Amino acid sequence: SFSSGTASLSISSTCSNNIAIATASVITTNLSPNISYTWTNSGGQVISQTNNTVSLTNSVTNLSNGIYTLSIQ
């Protein structure tokens, strides 16, 4: 979690051969972040979830055309 420090987020996406990949990158001043990533589709269905990681990047693959939401805690 981001209990101290500041954080910013950038998201990039690529598509190759009709397979899309979205990647989130977090930049934080917190020296030991504990982050959870939850990706949902436009219907609210969770399509990927990673809990309690120290990784500052998270990706989801095999996305079909649509709108996706990323929640980070």
pLDDT, tens digit (0-9, with 9 covering 90-100), for 30-52: 888 889 999 999 999 999 999 99
Q: Is the pTM of this model over 0.85?
A: no
Place of tokens 């899309």: 20
**2 pLDDT more than 60:** no
User: Across residues 3-15, what is the average pLDDT?
Assistant: 83
At 32 the pLDDT is: 81
**Alpha-carbon span 42 to 61, nearest angstrom:** 16
What residues contact 45, with CB distance under 8 A and at least 6 apart? none
What value does the mean pLDDT take over residues 19-26? 92
pLDDT at 3 over 70: no
